Amino acid sequence: MKKLALSDVKNLHEYELIRDAWRKDVIAVKARRRVLLGDMMSLLFESRLTILNQVQEMCRIERLAKPEAVQREIDVYNELLPDAGELSATLLVEITEEARVKPELDRLIGLSSGRHLWLELNGRKVFARFLEGQGREDRIAAVQYLRFPIGMDPRDRDALSAGPAPVMLHVDHPGYRASSALSHETRDEIARDLVD
């Protein structure tokens, strides 16, 4: 997927003028790209638009106007964009009761090992690769960034976008188990990411 450049980011004034309509559009796109995974997790398949939105919002919040500061923000978020043949996602562990946050997250230690979360596609398991530096051996963060290395085989893209078999997302960890079928709307939306 094409990385973001400084020319993609609107300055603070321009962004304020379009922000309400922009955010409405981004929220609609995110709704099509979000998958609920049980009662405590959701996964948002990221795209160039969702990542650009994060950059725009961070620049707005931090009042970044100097090109070098905006570029630093772009550099950080570009790491979340997938390479060819990959899907990129943000995994959110959604715990609303503050007293439950640490115990629930402690139950999930080891989730990022690469054996517990996968996409079932075209008769195979595509295990999530968690980006490094998001936690420690004894701790896990509530927000995780990951990639699914699907590959470049057009049959996989076809199976993802319009294949007759369901495309499933699974988490199988001693502390949490859930499965979810991706909707046809989600499948069609993210299949474009493999060739974008």
What are the sequence ranges of the domains in the chain?
Answer: 6-194
Torsion angle (degrees, nearest 10) of CA 107, 141, 46, 162: -10
Summarised one tens digit per residue, pLDDT across range 164-173 is 999 999 999 9
The predicted pLDDT at position 140 comes to: 85
Residue 120: how many other CB atoms lie within 10 Å: 17
Measure the CA–CA gap between 150 and 129, rounded to whole angstroms: 11
The predicted pLDDT at position 63 comes to: 95
Q: What is the pTM (predicted TM-score) of this model?
A: 0.90
